[in-house]
Every structure is written in structure tokens, then in C-alpha cells.
A = this chain, B = another copy of it.
């Protein structure tokens, strides 16, 4: 079996028709949902690209692998999906984005070069590269944001788009009065991108995925990882005007949220991006563009599904659709992601398992508390490997796919390290105190903030839209204590004992006695005959030292 592991970037869980969006039709996402399982409570380990992805690719919480924000390198030697899959003979390939930053200092310390296969995989988060393109070719006075070079820009140049950065000038820009109208500016979000639709990023990457599949020898996992619908919010015709303000779902926000907010939430509400999304005019332009980008993703997914079906691969390819986090789009007075309201921390997750063992769950939903770190163990399990659960902290989802009712986690955990942001500075926090932890038990969601703040608490049963912060008063202390209990247990979790499996530990018990380590013997009668015989024998006398030498000092 092969695995097509498709990730969209910044795709909200509720912007799919199968998830109930009122105006956005996504027949191809729905097509996978109809033959697979849609997980309705899937959470990312951190609502930010880099950290979330490093968790997904390692199967470990962000504070276990340490790459807790964009651009924080994943430490050399940290094991990834690719390491685990290759051990069982499965190739692990990248087609698109990872947001991986190499641990250059660590590589140098260990004498590793990116010119070797081992070094290249260390630098690429364990993937072998079909094509890597992180999709953010921002460029300013200090140069490019991304130190890699863009295969997508090369593609555009080969198609005749000119300049150093056609990504910026064509794919992510419209035209106004003969000038470039940058996609970075929300006021341009309603313009068509100045590019032929089939040359835009999503069709280009889909073509790369098809090229990969057509030449691949199984078994393989291909991580097809789209940059869209991530900003810049601009999309080529015809997607730029499929939707208008009348198709925007109502903004999920309430004045009570702005009254004496938690200081961390308050600081994020005051950020530039939040201020922008608080303006109706911004939402009226951006949300339709975001919907257009998703619609384009859906069309390209259809192209990919058709190709799989046409080539017979639909029968031996598991398909996974998910995202690395959502997008506030003005909900809760916020833009972007960062915090833990559902539009940010919850993601779509649809899994199609082609095997007959999954037949009885096709077209169903599962509301178990699923985490992004469950995907890596799911893939290992699906490929017939044994999940090394002393390394991976997630759990295989196969039991859910095969109709089982496994004992499952009681809480989902997500974290956010905002030490790299201006909010940390604004709150006067040290970088190590700029960390948030979410604990969600399916009803109550608590957010702990380091730095001496009170927790936030929401009761999703009475307040499904998460408006009323119950952490303000003392009325919910018992729930807060209970959730801190879960967080405490999680904090003590076994996350770094990665060099020794439970099975190895059990097998080694008592082994030192058979190697002559017996620090409990009074007279030798405590151990079996086979061991005691080594403790008595005739004294040999041929050593050269004398008693007098021994007594000299």
C-alpha cells in the first residue's frame, strides 16, 4: 500500500462542505470523506506552521522536539516519519512544503554534511525530496525570507514569467493601473492574480504530485504539501470572483470578548493583523479570496483523485487530507492563527483506507480527540510496522478506521510558543515565559499561560463559540484544577527515553546478575548455583607484589 499524505496550509476545519460550510462546495474533499472517515475533533500540536509540522512529522509534541516556532531548527538526530518508514522499507517523499529549518550548528558539531544522503535527510526533516517549495517567497531589504531557492519560481521563469521573483509579481499579485497590485495587501484580495490559472501554485504542485506518483515504486508515502489557502490571499480567475460578501459565514465574535480580556488574548487582539481583520471591508475581500483558494484546492484534488482512479492506484493508496492549522479570518477579533479557538487549532482530517478492513467505517465521522501526532504512528501502522512508542507520542488511528473502539486519550494538548513575536515583548515577558498550553477534554478547554497569568477556560457545551472566559472568576475552580491535573500528568510524560524501548527494558531486567553484578549477596546462597561458582576458586599466588609493599604507606 502507498500513502498520499496531503496537507493544506492554513485550511480551517469548517471551510469544507462536508464540514458544513453554508456556501463553499468542496465535492472532492467530500468524495474522500464519503469513502473514508472524517475526524471532527482533530487538533494540531501548535497553531503555527513550523511547530505544527515538526510535530506531525516527528509524531511528538512541540516541547518534546523543541522546534517550537517558525524557523526554530529541528535538532539533529530527532527522528522523523522518514526514519521510521525507511526502517520498514517504505520510501518517504516530499512534494511541497515542510517549513523545516536545518540545525546547522548541530550538523556541524557532528560533522554532518548536507551533501550526503544522511545529511540531506537530516536537513529535510527526514524526507527524500521530489520537490521542496515552502511557498513563501517574500523578499525585502534583507533579502528572501526563505534561504532555499524556489522550484516554483524556476517553473514560472521557464514558462516565461520574468523578473527575479515571479511568485511575488505574478502568482501573488493582481494588476491595477498597469502596476503590480501586491497580494500582500488585503485591498487587492478581490483582484485576479496575474497568472494563468494552471501556472498558479496549487495546479503546479498537483502536477508534481502526479509526476511523482507515475514514476514511483511502492511502497511509498508522498507528502503532498500545498502552501494554499495560506496567505497571500489572492487567487487567479475564475476563482477570484466565485464568492462575494454574501457567501461569508457570520463572524464568530462577541463584544464580551473585548471586555477585560486575558492579557495574552488582549495583546493578540491588539496586533496589526487582528486590527485588520476587525474591519468588515477586509473580511469582505479576504474571505471570498480564501474561499476561492480552497475551491481551487478542491478542483485540483479532484484532478488527483481522477488520476488515481484512472491508473488503478485508488485501490492501493491511503489518502489523508489535513492542514497544519486554521485561520481566524476575524473570528474572535483575530487574524491569522496563534491561539486556541477552534478556527485556529482544529483542522480538517479525512482518511481513506482502501483496504477491506476499513469498509465498515466508510463515510462515517469520528469525534475522538485526535492529535496531529497521531498521523505518523498511523502511517507506520498502516505500512505494517510496529510503532516505536518510546519515540512517537501519538497513537495509530487505524483502530478507528477499522471500526474499533480503542481506549483513547482523555484530553487533547496543544502548545504555542510566542517568544518570537511582538506580543511577548509587549507583555514584558522573558522568551521562556511566552508559552501557552491548551488542554481540551471534549467539553472544557483550558489555556494555561506561563508568566504568572490566570488560566482561560471555556465550556464548549454551554458556549460552543467560546465567547465566555470562565477563567475570570472562581466559579470553575474544580474544572480548572482537574484540567491542571491532566496538564501536570502530561508534563511528566515519558518523552525523551528514546534510546530504549519498553520491550528492551523488560528484556534486560535481571541481566546484570548474569554478568556478575550481584550487590545483594550476604553469603552467596542468594543466587543460583550457575552464578555462585564464579565467586570461589583457589587463590593464585604468582603476582609479583609482596605484602611488605602493600604495607609501605
Contact = CB atoms under 8 A, between A and B. Distances in A.
Interface of A: 63-68, 71-77, 79, 83, 103, 105-106, 109-112, 116, 118, 122, 136-145, 156, 159-163, 166, 168-170, 175, 178-182, 184-187, 194-199, 231-232, 236-238, 271-273, 275-276, 279, 282, 299, 335-336, 390, 417, 419-422, 424-425, 430-432, 435, 437, 448, 450, 484, 487-488, 490-492, 494-500, 502, 505-506, 508-524, 526, 530-531, 534-540, 542-547, 549-553
13 contacts: A67-B499, A75-B499, A77-B77, A109-B118, A111-B116, A169-B540, A175-B539, A178-B539, A182-B536, A336-B519, A417-B497, A448-B492, A488-B488
A75 B231 CA distance: 39
Contact of A420 (B144, B299, B488, B505): B505
A63 to B, nearest CB: 6
B498 A66 contact: yes
Contact of A431 (B166, B271, B506): B506
Contacts of A145: 512, 515-517
A179 B65 contact: no
Contacts of A499: 66-67, 72-75, 103, 105-106
Contacts of A140: 513-517, 531, 534
A522 B330 CA distance: 13
A500 B545 contact: no
Contacts of A544: 159-160
Contacts of A161: 543, 545
Contacts of A551: 197, 237-238
Q: Which 6 A-B pairs have the closest CB atoms?
A: A491-B491, A138-B516, A66-B496, A160-B544, A196-B550, A182-B535
Given A178-B539, A185-B524, A335-B519, 15 more contacts: A67-B499, A72-B500, A73-B499, A73-B500, A139-B534, A140-B513, A145-B516, A159-B543, A159-B544, A169-B539, A182-B536, A185-B535, A198-B553, A425-B509, A431-B505
A421 B509 contact: yes
B432 A502 contact: yes
A186 B497 contact: no
Contacts of A232: 519
A455 B5 CA distance: 44
A65 B514 contact: no
Nearest to A539: B175
A435 B236 CA distance: 57
Contacts of A71: 508
A87 B270 CA distance: 42
Contacts of A237: 550-551
A518 B271 CA distance: 13
B109 A110 contact: no
A267 B541 CA distance: 44
A487 B492 contact: yes
Given A145-B512, A488-B491, A537 B179 contact: yes
